[in-house]
Amino acid sequence: MKNSVFLLFGIALMIAPRGAMAVIDPNPDTIGIYFDKTADNGGIYTTQNVPFYAYVILTNPSEAEIWGFEFGYTFTTSGDTSHFYRLSNELPPQSIDLGNNDDIMSGDYVVGMAAPLPGAPAVILVEWLFLLTTYMYLTLEMTASNTPSLPGDLPAYEAGGTIVPLGIGGGCYNGIAQIGSECPVSTEIQSFGSVKALYR
């Protein structure tokens, strides 16, 4: 009987959906772009004319509450960007955004909230709904906001009067997510020095 239970458990593990077994970046205070809500998918193949979600996620915050956040983004492609649409741009409830993110390909968010988000292994900061009307390969990269609060040009979040710098993680490589490619999430976080060097 015991062997039957173990066999059934093993089969259940093998057929479980990949997203159900999330592999969240173990490093504290990291931000990245993912294609699932549990921060384990940094690359995605898409189907033409079928909307798909992308999420900006803060993983493993060291603080208990998130009262605000700031980051920049840059998307690049060799394709025609007129075939790439952002259908929605959702922020947490009661948010005020002072950033400039009207441009789908480049911009920033500087967001404060009337009520905090509780800390969790994966905290969704922004939810995007995208659509491609033709096949296209894109890279999605996180940066600092256009007016960073901290020296070193890093994304950050605010926790009850404390500004916490964020490492850039997730994605397929070096924190860069991809549309038009599937990849495992790297658990390596860029060091403060290497991230800082990117923006000099």
The tokens of 34 are what?
């993912």
- 69 near 30, Cβ under 8 Å? no
Instruction: Delimit the domains of the chain by residue range.
Output: 24-198
- pLDDT digit string, tens, across residues 21-33: 444 678 899 999 9
What's the pLDDT tens digit per position in 109-146? 999 999 999 999 999 999 999 999 999 999 999 999 99
Rg (CA), the chain: 18
Spatial separation of the C-alpha atoms in residues 152 and 97, rounded to whole Å: 22
Q: 8 pLDDT exceeds 50? A: no
The CATH number given to 24-198 is 2.60.40.680
Mean pLDDT of 173-180: 90
Read off the pLDDT band of 191 (50, 70, 90). Answer: very low
Summarize pLDDT for 59-85 with one digit per residue, the tens. Answer: 999 999 999 999 999 999 989 999 999
> What's phi and psi for 179, nearest 5 deg?
-110, 125
pLDDT reported for residue 24:
64
User: Per residue in 164-184, is it b (16+ CB within 10 Å) or e — as a string?
Assistant: bbbbbbbbbeebbbbbbeeee
Q: Report, as an integer, the average pLDDT of 41-50.
A: 94
Quick one: which H or E segment has residue 3? helix 2-15
